[in-house]
Amino acid sequence: MSQPASAYKDRQFLAVIGDEDSVTGLLLAGVGHVTQPPDSQKNFLVVDAKTETSAIEAAFDLFTTQRKDIAILLINQHIAERIRHRVDTYTAAFPSLLEIPSKDHPYDPDKDSVLKRVRRLFGE
Amino acid sequence: MSLAQANYHNRTRFGQDYYDERMQASRHVSLQMKDDVPSFTVSKSEPQETLSKDESEKPGAPEQPSKNEPQADRPEPSEKTSDVRSSDENPTSTKSVDPIRWFGILVPPALRSAQSSFVSAIEGPIPRLATLSKELRNLQIEIGRARKRLRKIEG
């Protein structure tokens, strides 16, 4: 289970896929980062009712597989629901994926991918 | 996170229209391996340090614009494409400021309390959860192996 140091030493950012309020709050806490202008990549995606599921999925791919500088990906649980198959089958060591509640959507532990995994482990 | 939500409720519309397109992270994650389990910590880093880290990581970062950009609607931030690389000499140009300044000089106290709630969430529970979920995953693998061995012995 040990990865070479290179697998994690550059991972220094948090990434967020969330509704506007969650993202705003987390950016207020200083996690927001936009890379230098030529490509100007953001480490967050604001999702609202109009956001296409494909855009969420693309951001999920970007943060989990393409970028190597993300240590933790936070995703609102109700948004994780929209790409549930992707979230549940995500097994990579990094970045760490955490589902977080949002203001308008209370947290439901039954949907959490981590808890589901535990439940599966102990006899369905 | 719940406190953050509560505080968050009573603020007016402070949203993405105010984001600074050149924001630089002032809180970073650092990872230490402890018995094969990575442990996460999030802490505030000096802007200066942030910059130099960014510079050094640049060449290796696989961030070529080849992939389909999810943020199709992002505003064009390319006013100054050329000489930002030299920002080492001129750290004030992209230096991180307190993000609360995006919303003005005089911000309502609710916004401040929301900020401090989010800061404590990001420094406390979030890295702890990330670490725990890593530990859990390792345990899961171990249990799987143990069960397999057990089956072998029994069978």
Residue A5: inside a domain: no
Residue A28: per-residue pLDDT = 84
- Closest-CA residue of chain B to A60: B70
Residue B61: per-residue pLDDT = 38
Residue B68: inside a domain: no
Instruction: Give the model's confidence band at A4: pLDDT under 50 very low, under 70 low, under 90 confident, else very high.
Output: low
Number of H helices, E strands in chain A: 5, 4
Shortest distance, CA A32 to any CA of chain B (angstroms): 5
Residue A105: per-residue pLDDT = 84
Number of H helices, E strands in chain B: 4, 2
Is the separation of the CB atoms in B127 and B40 below 8 Å? yes
Query: What is the count of residue pairs from A and B with beta carbons less than 8 Å apart?
Result: 181
Residue B84: per-residue pLDDT = 40
| Tokens found for residue B36 | 């094969």
Report d(CA A71, CA B43) in Å as an integer: 13
**How many CB atoms are located within 10 Å of the residue A57 CB?**
16
| Tokens found for residue B96 | 């991180």
Residue A1: per-residue pLDDT = 44
What number of residues does chain B have?
A: 155
Instruction: Give the model's confidence band at B73: pLDDT under 50 very low, under 70 low, under 90 confident, else very high.
Output: very low
Round the CA-based radius of gyration of chain A to a whole number and report it: 15
With both helix axes pointing from N to C terminus, report the angle between A113-121 and B125-154 in degrees, rounded to the nearest 10: 20
Helices (H), A1-124: 20-28, 53-61, 77-82, 84-88, 113-121
Specify the DSSP class assigned to residue A62. I
Can you give the three-state secondary structure of A77-101, one letter per residue?
A: HHHHHHCHHHHHCCCCCCCEEEEEC
Beta-sheet pairing, B37-44 with B27-34: antiparallel
Instruction: Give the model's confidence band at B150: pLDDT under 50 very low, under 70 low, under 90 confident, else very high.
Output: very high
Residue B37: inside a domain: yes
What is the residue range of A16's domain? 11-122
Residue B78: inside a domain: no
Residue B74: inside a domain: no
Residue B123: inside a domain: yes
Residue A55: inside a domain: yes
Residue B102: inside a domain: yes
What is the residue range of B9's domain? 1-46+98-154
Residue B59: inside a domain: no
Shortest distance, CA A83 to any CA of chain B (angstroms): 14
Report d(CA A82, CA A90) in Å as an integer: 14
Residue B16: per-residue pLDDT = 67
Residue A78: per-residue pLDDT = 92
| Tokens found for residue A51 | 């956001």
Report d(CA A76, CA B4) in Å as an integer: 14
Residue A1: inside a domain: no
Residue among B24, B61, B117 whose CB faces A69 most closely:
B61
Core vs surface per residue A11-45: b (16+ CB within 10 A) or e: bbbbbbbbbbbbbbbbbbbbbbbbbbbeebbbbbb
- Look at residues B80, B95, B45 and name the one whose alpha carbon lies nearest to residue A40: B80
- Closest-CA residue of chain B to A104: B5
Shortest distance, CA A2 to any CA of chain B (angstroms): 5
CATH of residue A30's domain is 3.40.50.10580
Count of domains forming chain A: 1
Beta-sheet pairing, A70-76 with A13-18: parallel
Residue B92: inside a domain: no
Count of domains forming chain B: 1
pLDDT average, residue stretch A89-112: 86
pLDDT average, residue stretch A65-92: 90
| Contact criterion met (CB < 8 Å) for A26 and B122 | yes
